[in-house]
Amino acid sequence: MPELRTGVRRRGRPLTTTVDPPRNTRRATRGRPIAEANRVTNRAAAAAARKPRTRAAAAAEAEEEKKKKQERNPVVEEAVKVDLEGPVEIKEVGVVLGGGGEGGEGVQIGEEKKMADDSGGLSANKAGAQEDEGSTTPFPEKVQVGGSPVYKVERKLGKGGFGQVFVGRRVTGGSERATGSGALEVALKFEHRSSKGCNYGPPYEWQVYSNLGGSHGVPKVHYKGRQGEYYVMVMDMLGPSLWDKWNASGQAMSSEMVACIAVESISILEKMHSKGYVHGDVKPENFLLGQPSTAQEKKLFLVDLGLATKWRDTGSNQHVDYDQRPDVFRGTVRYASVHAHLGRTASRRDDLESLAYTLIFLHRGRLPWQGYQGDNKSFLVCKKKMATSPEMLCCFCPPPFRQFLEIVVNMKFDEEPNYSKLISLFEGLIGPNPATRPINTEGAQKIIYQVGQKRGRLTIEEEDDGQPKKKVRLGVPATQWISVYNAKLPMKQRYHYNVADARLAQHVERGNEDGLLISCVASCSNLWALIMDAGTNFTSQVYELSPFFLHKEWIMEQWEKNYYISSIAGSNNGSSLVVMSKGTPYTQQSYKVSDSFPFKWINKKWREGFHVTSMATAGSRWGIVMSRNAGFNDQVVELDFLYPSEGIHRRWDNGYRITATAATWDQAALILSVPKRKPGDETQETLRTSAFPSQHVKEKWAKNLYLASVCYGRTVS
């Protein structure tokens, strides 16, 4: 039975201060010893932290809060955009419930568009720009900007989402040299002033070219300025793109050709990264060779810096902060990294993952996620990327392709790539004589040489720190319970799981009789899990089991009576369990049911002062409840096709704690929040188990850790 656990413990210190336990104690780990050790160390501190707040003080505070709440006049916002399904028959499932003592009910049943095939398509964030740019404004016949010579605008070299590139022929003077400010022919990149990239003046790309232009593998920009309706950049003219070359060579390139491209492009990215930038749109169309029949015809360049971002802050020299905004996608769907699909802040690993897809595409001629169409294309492509193992993806490529892919998809957000090691992976596929190679590999040789001078060549198997790395993307997809535990003052908590519809009422009633109210609900295989607490602070509670996900009329009725949704669960058959309570701090509530994770809606609601307070899934649909006055200062989302371990740890380090969880068969989502009133002991632990963690819960109780959230769905083990 796979079991993964991880935890973080912090108490009573300002959220901005980061004093972390040793790193290995916070990583997701198999087995218990590490977590146990961590808990022991922190327990004394947690106990000390609890002392100052007596029970009497806590009761007084609670009374005060209660008074305040009574004074509030709740404004009930109607559920928006509810997408209801017709009634679903609830099938009763025979479950043998074992007698449960205090604190747990034992149950002994087994638990257990078509994307244009001619191109990777336009880069996102640029696609919309085409119509509003120069279609109505003719391009000038001649160009002179920023003190440049006069150029006659000749044939078109290419077109992207923002810009159009033409040959500029120098009208007077100039030399026959292929490149340089005096060249007879240059490339002129035009961007219309009304294009999306020029909202605030000159294109953002100009600034990036100022910092990177002319460095290894980036063409030099000689002049720039505005002429009429257009911003114009005068740059070195280059030759065909790798896309053109791939097409010209029968839509597949030899392994030697691709290996040369690999090593040289890694060296170009190394240079770009060393200057603090991530390219953000690595793909065959953006790699250009030098002009044919010139000394540069075998030299590789990386163009289109319009999506480049900084991975390192210029002022502090620190790595930029991690974040995830699942509605933000930058890049080109076919080659984008999975992190880019999921809206994570771009970092060096993303360029390398896109490069891996680029290389495999050039060699194999196709990627398995080509051919998806429609609104959720990005979701489907990302799902396919996650579901395609490196072995499968690289089955027609020599081993270095798979090795490269495995390394880059398993990199951490702020990990420094080992460029020389990545280059050396491909060396065996390249001929010994640099002069006869199809692509100039000077940049790569320099890196290998420099490293060789410093510490000798690294071998493929060697890990930098001698430690085998945890392969985050290569785990076996699993469907598991995700349970979250918070430190609390001792209280009574009871759980039930594998509860059939017909047995629900009796558990709730018995709990109520014992002074317990429902704090959390979840579902697995159309059976319910129920957590009941003595410490909910709710004053009364109602619940409904409904064939709908979610039952709007009933919810609105309860809203009228000043009940607020305090927890929800949905089952695979589309039914739902909604619990509504009085005594919550909420002043307004809204919910949404959606076929995909509704981050845009969440984001809009955040801006209106709402926070996610409950979340559930029914099959592949998401139900999200957001409330005003939820007691949070800030909130973030972690969404992934596997359990987002790295994101959770980064958020924990910044003072966030998990406050809601839900998962479909495909994705797991966690909501993490910064509470307005910090608990005395901020300890939080998570567990992933294939069976409901009945035994673990009891162990946690013994340590004053109580189930705070639980869901069943996609993880990775």
Ligand X SMILES: Nc1ncnc2c1ncn2[C@@H]1O[C@H](COP(=O)(O)OP(=O)(O)OP(=O)(O)O)[C@@H](O)[C@H]1O
Which residue in 236, 281, 304, 640 is the catalytic one?
Answer: 281
Annotated binding-site ranges: 189
Active site residue 595: no
- CB-based burial label for 44 (10 Å; 0-12, 13-18, 19+): exposed
What letter represents residue 458's amino acid?
Answer: L
Please state, in angstroms and rounded to a whole number, the distance separating the CA atoms of residues 581 and 570.
Answer: 18
Q: Is there binding between residue 354 and ligand X (CB under 6 A)?
A: no
Residues that constitute the known binding site for ATP:
189
**160 interacts with ligand X by CB under 6 A:** yes
Residue whose beta carbon is closest to ligand X: 160
Residue numbers 54-73 binding ligand X by CB under 6 A: none
CB of 164 or CB of 614, closer to ligand X: 164
Burial readout 607-620 (b: 16 or more C-beta within 10 A, e: otherwise): eeebbbbbbbbbee
Site for ligand X in 378-437 (CB under 6 A): none
Name the minimum Å distance from CB 373 to ligand X: 20
Strands 164-170 and 309-310: unpaired
| Structure-token match 């029968």, residue found | 250
Nearest distance, CB of residue 34 and ligand X, angstroms:
45
Q: How far is the CB of 337 from ligand X (least distance, A)?
A: 16
Is residue 157 a contact point for ligand X (CB under 6 A)?
yes
**Which residue, 192 or 473, is less far from ligand X as judged by CB?**
192
Q: Which residue is it, tokens 């909910």?
A: 536
Applying CB under 6 A, the site for ligand X has a residue count of 26
- Residues 184-213, interacting with ligand X (CB under 6 A): 187, 189
Residue 168 lies near ligand X (rule: CB under 6 A): no
Q: How far is the CB of 241 from ligand X (least distance, A)?
A: 5
Select 158 or 644, whichever has its Cβ closest to ligand X.
Answer: 158
Distance CA 461, CA 425 (A): 10
Give one DSSP letter per residue of 218-284, joined into a string: SPPEEEEEEETTEEEEEEE----BHHHHHHHTTT---HHHHHHHHHHHHHHHHHHHHTTEE-S---G
Contact map string, positions 101 to 130, toward ligand X, x by CB under 6 A = ---------------------xx--x----
Q: Does 165 bind ligand X (CB under 6 A)?
A: yes
Pick the closer one to ligand X by CB: 124 or 482.
124
Amino acid at 80: V
Is 285 a binder of ligand X (CB under 6 A)?
A: yes
- Report how far apart, in Å, the C-alpha atoms of 547 and of each of 81, 121, 595 are: 19, 42, 17
> Smaller CB distance to ligand X: residue 115 or 303?
303
CB atoms within 10 A of CB 685: 23
The answer to whether 481 touches 524, Cβ cutoff 8 Å, is: yes
DSSP 8-state secondary structure symbol assigned to residue 436:
G
In the complex, what is the shortest distance from the CB of residue 480 to ligand X, in angstroms, rounded to a whole number? 40
**Strands (DSSP E) found in 472-597:** 477-487, 493-499, 517-524, 527-533, 540-546, 564-570, 576-582, 588-594
Evaluate the CA torsion angle 444, 450, 456, 461 in order and state its sign.
Answer: negative
Please state the closest distance from residue 478 (CB atom) to ligand X, in A.
38
232 or 238: whose CB is closer to ligand X? 238
Distance from C-alpha of 67 to C-alpha of 30, rounded to nearest angstrom: 46
Q: Please give the residues from 218 up to 277 whose contact with ligand X meets the rule CB under 6 A.
A: 219, 235-238, 241
Q: Does 638 bind ligand X (CB under 6 A)?
A: no
Report the b/e string of 628-658 with b at 16+ CB within 10 A.
Answer: bbbbbeebbbbbbbbbbbbbbbbbbebbbbb
- At its nearest, how many Å lie between ligand X and the CB of residue 323? 23
Q: Does 163 bind ligand X (CB under 6 A)?
A: yes
Give, as ranges, the residues between 299 and 318 that touch ligand X (CB under 6 A): 303-304, 306
Closer to ligand X by Cβ: residue 280 or 647: 280
353 binds ligand X (CB under 6 A): no
Catalytic residues: 281
- Kindly list the residues in this chain that would bind ligand X in the complex (CB under 6 A): 122-123, 126, 157-163, 165, 187, 189, 219, 235-238, 241, 281, 285-286, 288, 303-304, 306
